[in-house]
Structure 1
Amino acid sequence: MEKIDNYHIIRQAWKEFDDRHEIKGIFDVSAHVSTNSVYKVSFYDRQPVFAKLSDYGKFEHFKEDHIIINNLANNLEIPYENFLAQSLVKRNDLFIYRYYAQDRCAWVVFYNPIKVKAKLPRRLEDRQVKKMGRELARFHKACYNISAQLPIASKSVVTDIHQLQKTIREQKFCAKPDQKDLILHQCNIFLENADHYNYMTEIETIPVFVDWNIGNFSVTAEGKFYSRWDYDWFRISSRVMDFYFFSRVCSDIGDRTVFSYMINPLMEDRFIMFLKEYHRIYPLTEPEVRLIKECYRFFILNYVIKDGPYFFQQSYTYKLQKEAYESYFPTIETNFQVEKLLRALKL
C-alpha cells in the first residue's frame, strides 16, 4: 500500500482553504507517539498556522469532534476563553479538508498558533497536586456551564464498546481466541456497570479531553491552566473520564518516558489529595466516584484495544496491548478500592 505523502496533502488542503498565500515551508512537530501528525506551516506573507492530519477512524467523527471543540473554544468563559487553540473557519464553517486516493483517505484541520507558558514538572510537589485538583474542577465547571449549547455528539462510551464487540464477533479483530474472550468479558462488565450506575441517563456529561499528559497543556507561574493543544481523545462524557490521566500526572513516580497504563495511580495518596481538592470546588457524587473504575476500564478497551493499532505507533501498540491482557485487565478488580476514595471524600 502506497504511503500517504502528508506534505502534499497539507499543500492541497491549504490551496483549497486560501490559495492567495504561498506556503514557504512545512515542518513536522509531531510527538511521534501516535499515528496522527501535526505540522507547522509557514508562509511568505502571513503568520504561520498548524495543521493536524489524521488517517484513522471515521471522517464523520473527526469532523464532529472538531466542530464541538471549536464551539467550546469560542464559548468558554473567563479565565479559559483562550485556553484552546481555535480552528480556521471558511465561509462561516469549520474548514476540514478530506483527501482521497484509491483506498486511502486522510483529513486535515488547521489551527491558529496558541501561546504557551510553563509545562508542569515531571514530578509535582504536594502544593501543585492540590492546585491541579482545584484547577481541573474549575475548568470542568466552565465546560459544564456551556455544555447545553454545544452540538450533540453521536458517539458515546456505550456505542464505542458495542462497536468493539461487533468487530470481534464479526472476526475483524486480530487477537488470540482467549484474548478475544477476555475483551468481550471486560466489555460486558463495563456495560453492566454503566447500566447499574445509569451512565447514559443520570450521569452529567461534559467535554473531556481524556489525555492530560503534561506535554499536552501549559500552565501559568501560579499553576493555572493557560493553553491546551492536543485533542486526539476528545469526547463528550462523564467528567471522571479525565481523572485517570490526572492520577498519572499526580503520581509519586512522576512523568515517565517509557509509559504504561496500570490502574495503580488511582489508588495513590497523592491522587486522593488531588481528588479532595477537586471535590471541594466541584463536588462529586457517589455514583461518579464508583464510575472512575469503569472509565479506566473503558480507556483500556477503547483507546488501547479498539483504537490502539490505528492511533499508537506499532511498537507502542504491541507493548500496551500485551500489558492490557497480562496486567491491566487482571488488576482492575483487585487493585482498585473504591471505598478508599469514598471515605476520603466522606461520601
Structure 2
Amino acid sequence: MAFIDFDTIIREAWNDYDPSREIAHIVDISAKVSTNHVYRITLKDRNYIVAKLSYFGKYDHFVEDHSIINTLSNNLPFPFENFLARSLMKGNKLYVYRYQSQVIDAWVVFYRPIHIKEKLPKRLDEDQIAKLGQQTARFHKACDTVKATLPRSSKTMKDDINDLIKILDDTSSKYEYPMHRSLIKNHCDAFLANYDTIGADKLESIPVFVDWNIGNFSVTPNFKLYSRWDYDWFRMSTRMLDFYFFARVSSDIGDKTVFTYNVDVMMEDRFIIFLKAYHKEFPLTEKEIRFLKDAYRFFILNYVVKYGRFFFHEIFATKLQKEALETHLPSLENTFNPEPLLKALDL
C-alpha cells in the first residue's frame, strides 16, 4: 500500500467531531499484528481518548458492529456494566468518521479510555483455566440476557461463506491461492452442509468477540473478567465462535510470539477443564459441541483465508494462510472429534 498519513486522518476525524478541543499529540499504540491502527490522543486540555482506524471489511458492517457494541456496553448488567470500552457519541448517534481517497477507504471511531488491570499469564494453570471458563460463561449469560435490546445485525456466517464461494468462482479474479481453490471450495461446501445438518441456524445468537487473545482483555487479581477493548472480529452469532480462542488460551503450549491456528488445542484435556467449568455455569448443548468443528472451520475460512491479507500484516498473513491451506484444513476431519468433549460434559 502507498504511504498514507494516518495521523492526518485522525486529526481530520477529531476536528470533525469536536473542533473546540485541540489535539496536543498522537501516539500510535497499535499491536502491530493487524492492519488496524490504534492511537492514544492527548488533548491540549490534558484529557485523552483512544482512536481506532480501520479499513478491514466493510464500512456498513463497521458502523453496525460498533453500534451494537455501544448498546451492549450500556445494557450489560452487573458485574459487566463497565467491561467494554465505550465509543464516543455525537448527539444521539455513534460517531464514525469516514475517509475516502483513491488509495484507501478508512473509518475512525473514538473510545473513552478503559481501565486495565492484569493480563492473563502466558500459560494458565488448571485452576486458572476453570476460573476463566466460569467467567466466560457468566459473560456469555449476561450477553444472552440483553440480546433482545440490541440493534439488528445483518451479518451471517452463511452469507460470509457464500461470499467466499463467489470469490472462488470468479475466474477473472486474481485469487492469491489458485492451487487451493478446490480445497477451499470443498470446505465451504462442508461448512454449509454441516450448518444445515446440525441446524445451526436454530442456535441462539449473542454478541461474540471471537478473538480472545490474552492481549485483548484484562482480569482482576482473583481472575474475574475486568475489561475488554478489541472488537475487530465482533459479530452476532452462536457463542461457539468464541470457544476456539479460549481453547488456545487454555492450551498447554500457552501464548507464543510465533503462533499458528491449529485445531488440536480443542482436543486437549485442558480445554475440557474450561468446558466443564463453563458448562456448570451456563450449560452447553450437544448440538453446540458438535458445531465446534465448523465454528473453527468458519474462523479459518473467513478470517484467515478470505480476509487474512486485509487484516493481518503481510508477514503474518502469508504464514497463517500457508499453514491453514497446507495443514489445518486438510487435516481437520481427522483431527477434531467431538465425542471426548460430549462424554466429558455428559451430553
TM range (shorter): over 0.9
Cα distance in 2 between the residues matched to 1:251 and 1:290? 20
Question: CA offsets, 1:92-123, max 9 Å, x none?
Answer: 10000001123521110000000000011001
Q: Offset of 1:173 from its aligned partner?
A: 5.2
* 1:1-347 correspondence to structure 2 within 5 Å: 2-171=2-171, 172=173, 174-200=175-201, 202-347=202-347
Task: Letter of the 1:9 partner, please give it.
Answer: I
Q: Offset of 1:174 from its aligned partner?
A: 1.7
The answer (yes or no) to whether the contact 1:293–1:336 under 8 Å persists in 2 is: yes
The 3-state SS of whatever aligns with 1:261 is coil
Question: CA offsets, 1:49-88, max 9 Å, x none?
Answer: 0000012321101000000010111110000000000000
Cα distance in 2 between the residues matched to 1:304 and 1:321? 6
Cα distance in 2 between the residues matched to 1:87 and 1:104? 23
Question: CA offsets, 1:101-148, max 9 Å, x none?
Answer: 235211100000000000110010111000011000000000000011
Cα distance in 2 between the residues matched to 1:151 and 1:43? 32
Task: Letter of the 1:106 partner, please give it.
Answer: A
Task: Letter of the 2:210 partner, please give it.
Answer: V
Cα distance in 1 between the residues matched to 2:114 and 2:174? 39
Cα distance in 1 between the residues matched to 2:5 and 2:183? 38
The 3-state SS of whatever aligns with 1:343 is helix
TM-score norm. by structure 1 comes to 0.98
Moved more, 238-247 or 162-171: 162-171
Task: Letter of the 2:186 partner, please give it.
Answer: H
Cα distance in 1 between the residues matched to 2:205 and 2:197? 17
Q: Offset of 1:5 from its aligned partner?
A: 1.1
Q: Offset of 1:177 from its aligned partner?
A: 3.5
The answer (yes or no) to whether the contact 2:13–2:108 under 8 Å persists in 1 is: yes
- Name structure 1 gaps, 5 residues minimum: none
Cα distance in 1 between the residues matched to 2:242 and 2:169? 30
Cα distance in 2 between the residues matched to 1:331 and 1:293? 12
Moved more, 78-87 or 166-175: 166-175
Share of identical aligned residues, percent? 55
TM-score norm. by structure 2 comes to 0.98
Cα distance in 2 between the residues matched to 1:182 and 1:302? 14
Task: Letter of the 1:324 partner, please give it.
Answer: A
The answer (yes or no) to whether the contact 1:21–1:46 under 8 Å persists in 2 is: no
Question: CA offsets, 1:171-229, max 9 Å, x none?
Answer: 335234430110000000000000111112x1111000000010100000110000000
The answer (yes or no) to whether the contact 2:17–2:95 under 8 Å persists in 1 is: yes
Cα distance in 2 between the residues matched to 1:141 and 1:121? 25
The 3-state SS of whatever aligns with 2:180 is helix
Question: CA offsets, 1:215-263, max 9 Å, x none?
Answer: 1000001100000000000011110110000001001111111000000
Cα distance in 2 between the residues matched to 1:223 and 1:75? 23
The answer (yes or no) to whether the contact 2:2–2:103 under 8 Å persists in 1 is: no
Cα distance in 2 between the residues matched to 1:89 and 1:3? 30
- Name structure 2 gaps, 5 residues minimum: none
Matched positions, count: 346
